[in-house]
Structure 1
Amino acid sequence: MFKRMHKISCSDFWVLSHERLSDFYTSAWQRRGSPLPLLFFRLVLAAASVGFLVWSLTSGQSGLSPLWLIYLTNWGLVMVTAMAVSGFFVSAMIACKRPADDEKTPWYVGLFWIIFNVTQTIAIAITVLYWTLLYDANTMVYATTAAFWLDVAVHGFNSVISVGELVISRTPVRWLHVYQPLLVAAVYVAFSGIYYATDGTNGFGEPFIYPVLNWNEPGMAGAVSGGSLLGVFVVHTLVWALALGRNKLSDILFQRQTHELPHTHDKA
């Protein structure tokens, strides 16, 4: 028999209502409700993401330059780092003072949830867009081996860290939260247009941030922007489906007997 569909309420669109607080500090792949396994995993993610961020800031043509801030790749790197660090903070706070599972969602958990929602979709989208639209093996020349691995790190390992958090944790994903990454993507599209209109240039002195987002050719830039915004819905749906599968498999394997509240049907 199909379960009764969850009735959508206004609270489902925000991040301060969830049935089980423990979903934010326990792994999907543990029997006990201790926050320590996920705490140590998140420490590794936080250290890796901070390392990649520092590496990017101190290397490359736009490192330690205001131009570093114009690239979506670097926006995504900041998001990944914020997600990993805030996730570690959540686990550390819970480890120090573990609240009841039905307690009201603390502000720092809600903040982490927003960053998590945005990062999951944006990080994957950045990886897909870069390797499909921007990377050209025939023309891409790296000054050093380190430059090549930095490129891989900020356009590939960023998604590894993001998906790692998604798969190992039990952080909930609601499809209705799609507006959060969509808003960030729309802000970047608007920023790229404003940057072009104010005669901004990229690290090579060209009058655009990315060749495919050159507003001197509005047809192409508009198509890429529209396709990217549509892609946010697709990627977020895939993330939601992966989280749903993660939860179902976790329930089957561990039966979630250690949680104080029974598992309820995932919200949209």
Structure 2
Amino acid sequence: MIKYTWKHGLYCISAFLGSEDESVEIFTKSSLGSISPLLWRIPIFLWATISLFMSMNYFWGPTKLFFVYMTHWGLLFIVLESMFGIIVVLRKRGRPDATFGLPWYVKTYWVLYNISIPVAFLITVFYWGILKSSLDTVKFSPNPVLDVMIHGVNSVVMFVELMFSAHPSRLLHIMQPLYFAGAYMLFSVTYYFAGGLDPWGNKFIYPVIDWSKPDQTMVVITLTAIFLALMHLITVAMAAARDSITKQCKPDPTGVYNDGFEP
């Protein structure tokens, strides 16, 4: 059992990776053994890139408003996460990196990984559980295929990334997705007070996050933050279950047991 210290709290609040003791090699391996992560990261990158450009093509408003929606932020993060995941594997096959601790591109991938997975789960549940069920008049994705792709398949591909990867997920990295959500909240506030409108001329981006009704909006944001934190905890739990199963099934498992309390 790991004793919780002030350093753990610092790692959590600052969102530091605390990764000096992690090896680059673990980020280039699969929980399935000798299978290369490129077998799923390349398809995820292609899917996310195509979905992003198709979403822009079928966007229901001016292109300049495309990135006002969190769904599109999340999709862009999947593109970046899978791209850096590919780079991590390919760079490992080249010359050894002399950087102290993890190289910058590995750290970047890990942060994107920590953010993209719980945010994808949040987007799926938020969209189908709140937006889609409460509003019939607003069409956030007129194309029904893209509707499923960017609000449903996004979680499926991130689940694949989570379950097939061999590197750990940490409880103390919880602030990384929360800071992402905080950045989007600040953007939405700034956008509102700057007079920004949605494609239909409304003074909000999402009807449930309407800053003209601050009390209601703060309740929604607080509940969303709690749910996002829960998604991170579930992500860590699934990573722990993945590594536990791997350890039991293989005499020399590729992954390491996911101790979520490590920084």
Q: TM-score range by the shorter chain?
A: 0.7 to 0.9
Task: Please give the secondary structure, in 2, of the residue aligned with 1:37.
Answer: coil
- Within-5 A mapping of 1:73-222: 73-97=71-95, 104-136=101-133, 139=136, 147-222=143-218
Structure 1 residues 6 and 87, CA gap change in structure 2 (3 angstroms): farther
Q: Is the 8 A contact 1:72 1:188 kept in 2?
A: yes
Letter in 1 for 2:54: W
- The Cα offsets for residues 49-83 of structure 1, whole Å up to 9 and x where unpaired, read as 111111112212136x1100111111111111111
Structure 2 residue 22 is the aligned partner of structure 1 residue 23: no
Percent pairwise identity: 28
Structure 2 residue 40 is the aligned partner of structure 1 residue 41: yes
Task: Please give the secondary structure, in 2, of the residue aligned with 1:234.
Answer: helix
Q: Considering only aligned residues, what root-mean-square deviation do their CA atoms show, in Å?
A: 2.7
Question: What are structure 2's unaligned runs of at least 5 residues?
Answer: none
Partners of 2:39 and 2:202 in 1: CA distance:
44
In the alignment, what sits opposite 1:55?
54
Partners of 2:53 and 2:79 in 1: CA distance:
10
In the alignment, what sits opposite 1:71?
69
Partners of 2:54 and 2:257 in 1: CA distance:
42
Q: Is the 8 A contact 2:166 2:254 kept in 1?
A: no
Partners of 1:72 and 1:247 in 2: CA distance:
31
Structure 1 residues 18 and 231, CA gap change in structure 2 (3 angstroms): farther
My pick for the range that moved more, 248-257 or 41-50, is 248-257
Task: Please give the secondary structure, in 2, of the residue aligned with 1:48.
Answer: helix
Q: Is the 8 A contact 2:236 2:260 kept in 1?
A: no
TM-score by length of 2: 0.87
Structure 1 residues 206 and 17, CA gap change in structure 2 (3 angstroms): same
Deviation at 1:19, TM superposition (A): 3.4
Deviation at 1:136, TM superposition (A): 3.3
Letter in 1 for 2:42: L
Q: Is the 8 A contact 2:239 2:258 kept in 1?
A: no
Structure 1 residues 226 and 98, CA gap change in structure 2 (3 angstroms): same
Partners of 2:174 and 2:154 in 1: CA distance:
20
Deviation at 1:37, TM superposition (A): 1.8
TM-score by length of 1: 0.85
Structure 1 residues 258 and 222, CA gap change in structure 2 (3 angstroms): closer
Structure 1 residues 128 and 18, CA gap change in structure 2 (3 angstroms): farther
Letter in 1 for 2:181: A
Q: Is the 8 A contact 2:240 2:258 kept in 1?
A: no
Count matched residues. 254
Q: Is the 8 A contact 1:12 1:267 kept in 2?
A: no
Deviation at 1:94, TM superposition (A): 1.4
In the alignment, what sits opposite 2:220?
224
Deviation at 1:182, TM superposition (A): 0.5
Deviation at 1:106, TM superposition (A): 1.4
